[in-house]
Amino acid sequence: MRILGIDPGLTRCGLGTIDFVGARRVSFVDVDVARSNPAMLPEKRLLLIHNKLAETIRLLRPDVIAIERVFAQENVRSVVSTAQVVGISMLCAAQHGIPVQMHSPSEVKAAVSGNGRASKAQVQLMVKQILGLKEIVRPKDAADALAIAICHAWRGNLAVNTNATRAQHGGAGTLPRAEGVDLTAAQKLWAQAERLQARHGAVAPEKFRK
């Protein structure tokens, strides 16, 4: 299964592609960043991102697209522009007949590092190790895109029910199993965190947990 991970952003949109062959085995395919100039009109910037996404899809032919889910932050303008990029990413996927699944930032961090509050540097390091790369992927948007793709590979391998529509909106049937000799420590921790969150609701933003 070829997975295109997207770290949405209007100035820099990370695009990371991996191949998943099962049994937690993933391999690096490509990484790129779609960029737009903040001085341009918003609609022109979105068109640039869309065109880059479409080109990447045509060249790499992913089987599924994984996108990081947007959460409210202090900078409302940034959230809105990021959500717009998520929208055009989903549109581009639909135009090419490719299924989409969303993953939360904490889910991605936990999947690759075992820590749902891992730093950007930790995620970059784990992506390098998991994919056997010689150097840390930069910028961070590119590394995050690969992390999102890895998260989807492992989530798809663990999920009880892989129905894309239900997985998009949550539900008990989409929860991953938390036990098994074939699971890594990071996967077990992530699965346990997912089940805990499903029971008690979404985790509050970090600034409210200090």
Residue ranges of the annotated binding site for Mg(2+) are: 7, 68, 141
CB burial readout 27-52, b (16+ within 10 A) else e: ebbebbbbbbeeeeeeeebbebbbeb
Distance of CA 53 to the CA centre of its chain: 15
Is 7 among the residues known to form the active site? yes
Binding site per annotation, positions: 7, 68, 141
Q: Which of 19, 107, 135, 141 is catalytic?
A: 141
Distance of CA 76 to the CA centre of its chain: 21
Q: What is the DSSP letter of 72?
A: -
Alpha-helical runs (H) found in 98-184 = 105-113, 120-131, 140-158, 164-169
Q: Which of 7, 107, 144, 194 is catalytic?
A: 7
How far is 190 from 24, CA to CA, in rounded Å? 14
Q: Which of 68, 107, 144, 194 is catalytic?
A: 68
Is 141 among the residues known to form the active site? yes
Residues classed as catalytic: 7, 68, 141
